[in-house]
Amino acid sequence: MAEAQSKESSSTTVAFRLNATLHDLLKEVAERCGQSPNEYARTVLVQSLQSELPLEILERLGRMETDQKQLRSAIAMALEAVLLNTTDFDEAKVASWIRKKIAPGESPSTGREGGTSS
């Protein structure tokens, strides 16, 4: 426990470079917050490191991307069935259209990368 307290009470210098555009933005935002650029940069960094929000956002985005891919695949499979049963298009033409319009890079019948439906 004493070791944890000593780590929290000691400090280490952190330095990094910013391009001119980012530095100007940092100065502008810090001024609006009534802080120096150094104080503001430290505040933002500490808040970011102590917050789990960015991690939660990345996890949610990952899940949304997976959900979107699954939905596109399901739509492609359903549309393939409808088009094959209600039009005179052959399977290759339907699969090609779906790959171009609905699920680029996926096979409509399998939902997997590449290939055509069989």
SS3 for the chain, per residue? Answer: CHHHHHHHHCCCCCCCCCCHHHHHHHHHHHHHCCCCHHHHHHHHHHHHHHCCHHHHHHHHHHHHHHHHHHHHHHHHHHHHHHHHHHCCCCHHHHHHHHHHHCCCCECCCCCCECCCCC
More confident residue, 3 or 73: 73
Domain ranges for the chain: 16-51, 62-118
Distance of alpha carbon 53 from alpha carbon 83, whole angstroms: 44
pTM to 2 decimals? 0.46
Token pair listed for 84:
């094959």
- Which pair of structure tokens corresponds to residue 69? 């891919």
CA distance 42 to 84: 61
Residue 115 pLDDT grade (very low, low, confident, very high; cuts 50, 70, 90): very low
Q: By CB neighbour count within 10 A (0-12 exposed, 13-18 middle, 19+ buried), where does 97 fall?
A: middle
91 CB-contact burial (10 Å; exposed 0-12 / middle 13-18 / buried 19+): middle
pLDDT tens, residue by residue, 31-81:
999 999 999 999 999 988 888 777 888 899 999 999 999 999 999 999 999
